[in-house]
Amino acid sequence: MHMDQAVDQTHARPGGFPKNPDGTIDWEVVFEAPDTGFLTLVQQARSLDGLSACTRVIVDQLFTRKNDEPERTRLYQELEALIARSETVEAARDSIVRLLRAIKQERLLKAAAYTANRSQRKFKRKGGAEERRDDEVLRQMFSVKKPLVLAIVSLWILASVVIGVGLFLMDGDETETVAETRSAPVATPAAEPPAPAADPAPVPKKPAPEKPEVVKKPVKAVPEYPKVIHMRPMFHTVGATRMQKGYTYYQAALVVESREAYSAVCTRLPSVRDVINTALSQALPRQGLANGRELAAAGAWAVSKFAAKFGPGVVARVDFLADGDSNFRPRAIPCR
């Protein structure tokens, strides 16, 4: 697709963004669709001017409200700064893809929070209506406009108070009468305390047996390499229904076999994240969880891309872990 056609197609969205069954926008399709996704359009740009024009159109599509003007201005400035410090079109494209993927993650989290809050608001509205009905019933019962009902209720309350006071007084008189008729307790002479027993002769203590000396085995030194670098977990939509949306997380674990390889990966983490995000976007299914074969394919693809970027053998293996895997580390910070 020519770049001008891609920009025109981004401008023309007569039906709006695609929606999920719960009414929220399907941001995975908006950004990652093979033909019409925003990231696909950015990948088709062949010049710095084309990248700038395409990205500005995408920002205008994402931030359309009046109060979005400061955010649009900030993103325009960030875009120009990314292009200015990029030496090649490929480097500028990689930086813009990372920027758009960060916006996509933010939109996915906002959609999840909106769905959860909407369910809570429905429950609160239902409870509020029931409380208002109860208040109306009490207002009707004790309204001054109904003197007969008010008089009956007042007499009933007064009668209850009088009966309660009478029962309390009768119970007090009866308690005093029973207390007067009781006989005083008869004192019994105290028994003499028994004579203290003589202390037994002390038993000599046996010397404690000597404990055999425990010889500690030398601890084997754990080799520093190969080392596993756990990247931060990545958010992914696995399905949606009319009432709720399903989410999960995947994590990339990179295996490096030398200190030089570890340094090469940790000094270029933005490029590492870009390769991992692209591998997951291409390998994961549109609905449902990924199986072992799909995760293995994503790992093999990532290894080949790392070999092209960093050199062969720098990243020996890439394992994609699903949430719930025994090796999954939700709080991992790479290269810490």
User: pLDDT, tens digit, for every residue of 11-53?
Assistant: 445 457 898 888 889 999 999 988 889 999 999 988 999 999 9
- H or E element at residue 109: helix 89-141
- Look up residue 330 and give its amino acid: P
Please tell me the distance from the alpha carbon of residue 152 to that of residue 143, in angstroms, as a whole number. 13
Pair 312, 319: CB distance under 8 Å: no
What's the confidence (pLDDT) of residue 155? 73
What's the confidence (pLDDT) of residue 34? 85
First to last CA, the chain: 43
Q: DSSP assignment, residue 67? A: G
Please tell me the distance from the alpha carbon of residue 183 to that of residue 178, in angstroms, as a whole number. 10
CATH 3.30.1130 assigned to 227-322: yes
Q: What is the pLDDT of residues 166-216, one digit of tens each?
A: 666 565 555 454 444 454 454 555 556 665 555 666 666 666 777 777 767
The C-alpha angle 171, 176, 178, rounded to 5 degrees, equals 95
Residue 226, preceding bond cis, omega within 30 degrees?
yes
Pair 1, 46: CB distance under 8 Å: no
The C-alpha angle 186, 189, 195, rounded to 5 degrees, equals 155
For the chain, domain boundaries: 3-117, 227-322
- pTM exceeds 0.75, yes or no: no
